[in-house]
A and B are shown apart, each in its own frame.
Chain A
């Protein structure tokens, strides 16, 4: 390799090092916590559901926006503490497995509770407010959408709060 080539490659290496990316790669993967983003998305979805329930004309707008919230929240599984492959942590050890299991249990339990409350709640509201069948069906559409948001956010939320802070030695 000629001296010019060596200097060129060394210059390129130095330019790459100045970006800071090689230093980040050397530090190794870490468990990243998302403590607030899933909570905000969850609150936003429930707020939108309430907004839709207040007026049946706004139901489809609310349902569409909840779908947007869900599509934003789903990638949290691939970036947060539930990430199992490619660098959520260095290896998936027994601590990770136990945390992921508990997080998903919390997610499924929340979704089940929401389904029960949503079904009985919408039936009760339909009786109280004398909704038409169409209005009841529209309200019922919000339940699976909200369940998807709950399944997208609660496991990450649980794992992020359950993951203790850690300092390297």
Chain B
């Protein structure tokens, strides 16, 4: 099974949301959110869509087959206007 990278921790921190709050919102255990964030577990399509809907972003903004670009690099590019 290919590893699915995600930015759940980043979005959660951005929203100031605890693991428990996100877990309650999407109907899983807080530990499962922890496993997802650490890459120990790849979510089902249903869970991935629920998490994306919770943050009101498209699913590809949260999950990717390729590693996500670090935030500092994105900001650097944005500053340069690339």
Contact present for A91 and B27 (CB under 8 Å): yes
When distances are taken between beta carbons in the complex, the residues of chain B under 8 Å from A164 are 35, 38, 40
Given contacts A89-B29, A90-B29, contact A95 B18 (CB under 8 A): no
Contact present for B19 and A95 (CB under 8 Å): no
Whether a CB of chain B sits under 8 angstroms from the CB of A94 is yes
When distances are taken between beta carbons in the complex, the residues of chain B under 8 Å from A6 are none
Q: How large is the interface on A (under 10, 10 to 19, 20 to 34, 35 or more residues)?
A: 10 to 19
When distances are taken between beta carbons in the complex, the residues of chain A under 8 Å from B28 are 91, 93-95
Contact with B along A127-169 (1 / 0, CB 8 A): 0000000000000000000000000000000000000101111
Contact present for A93 and B18 (CB under 8 Å): no
When distances are taken between beta carbons in the complex, the residues of chain A under 8 Å from B29 are 89-91, 93, 95-96
Contact present for B35 and A95 (CB under 8 Å): yes
Whether a CB of chain B sits under 8 angstroms from the CB of A83 is no
A169 to B23, CA, bound (A): 13
Main secondary structure of the interface of A (DSSP, over half): loop
Which residues from 91 to 116 on chain A have a C-beta closer than 8 Å to any C-beta of chain B? 91, 93-96
Q: How large is the interface on B (under 10, 10 to 19, 20 to 34, 35 or more residues)?
A: 10 to 19
Partner of A93, one of B19, B27, B34, B40: B27
A95 to B23, CA, bound (A): 12
Contact present for A94 and B38 (CB under 8 Å): no
When distances are taken between beta carbons in the complex, the residues of chain B under 8 Å from A91 are 27-29
Whether a CB of chain A sits under 8 angstroms from the CB of B68 is no
Tell me the smallest distance from the CB of B45 to a CB of chain A, in Å: 11
Given contacts A94-B44, A95-B41, A164-B40, contact A31 B31 (CB under 8 A): yes
A61 to B58, CA, bound (A): 64
A44 to B43, CA, bound (A): 38
When distances are taken between beta carbons in the complex, the residues of chain B under 8 Å from A96 are 29, 32
A168 to B34, CA, bound (A): 8
A–B pairs, 17, beta carbons within 8 Å: A30-B31, A89-B31, A90-B29, A91-B27, A91-B29, A93-B28, A94-B28, A94-B32, A94-B43, A95-B28, A95-B41, A164-B35, A164-B38, A164-B40, A166-B35, A167-B34, A169-B19
Given A94-B32, A166-B35, 16 more pairs with CB closer than 8 A: A30-B31, A90-B29, A90-B30, A91-B28, A91-B29, A93-B28, A93-B32, A94-B43, A94-B44, A94-B46, A94-B47, A95-B35, A95-B41, A96-B29, A164-B35, A169-B34
